[in-house]
Chain A
Amino acid sequence: KQEVTQIPAALSVPEGENLVLNCSFTDSAIYNLQWFRQDPGKGLTSLLLIQSSQREQTSGRLNASLDKSSGRSTLYIAASQPGDSATYLCAVPPSNDYKLSFGAGTTVTVRA
């Protein structure tokens, strides 16, 4: 069974600082890894999808890396803004299944 861990559970930074969010998973035989953002009381917004053959994916200020062999992914958010305050979740489907296993999330607060 795929176990997904996100560290830290919470993070508070001043505006402008870069954010580093970590995700680790136990089964490296994966199709892909997806990062999501969830605002309080809302659904999930897809941020980045990294295929198992890729090492990183970028979208604007967001960059996600994937090291399959070590079972790790890192989400970098450059020059954080108060609007980046949310919970960030990573999710991984194993290669023999399509069901997503989620981490517990990292709750980010960016202080103005």
Chain B
Amino acid sequence: GAVVSQHPSRVICKSGTSVKIECRSLDFQATTMFWYRQFPKQSLMLMATSNEGSKATYEQGVEKDKFLINHASLTLSTLTVTSAHPEDSSFYICSANSGTPFGTEAFFGQGTRLTVV
């Protein structure tokens, strides 16, 4: 299957700093990528849809100024957690579809464990 690479896998940052997480589609182009957050022992919660060349669309309740998304190319989307606080500590996962997001297989990155101290 297609490969989605996410980096870093783990990051620890100080409260008040910003952290950038990268999501790359390695062997296909993705006009749309998705960012999820997962709390311990819970399922995935969609945060936002990243669209190449345009603004991301955020789910209800997700602060767009806190979670900045940039999708500058067909193979790279980034999520920046700005002014991080301990409550932002979580597992973040990205995904992309190998074609149109309608009806095609979704592939996920390895996830990023963010710890804010």
Q: Is the CB of B42 within 8 A of A104?
A: yes
Q: Is the CB of A98 within 8 A of B6?
A: no
Residues of B within 8 A of A46 (CB): 1, 105-108
In-complex Cβ contact of A44 among B103, B108, B113 (8 A): B108
Q: Is the CB of A98 within 8 A of B93?
A: no
Q: Is the interface of B mostly helix, strand, loop or mixed?
A: strand
- Chain A: residues with Cβ within 8 Å of the partner, total of 23
The tally of CB-CB contacts under 8 A between chains A and B is: 56
Q: Is the CB of B43 within 8 A of A41?
A: no
Verify if A45 is at the interface (C-beta below 8 Å from B). yes
Verify if A100 is at the interface (C-beta below 8 Å from B). yes
Q: Is the CB of B106 within 8 A of A100?
A: yes
Q: Which residue of B lies closest to A30 (CB)?
A: B103
Query: Smallest distance from the beta carbon of B20 to chain A beta carbons, Å?
Result: 18
Q: Is the CB of B6 within 8 A of A34?
A: no
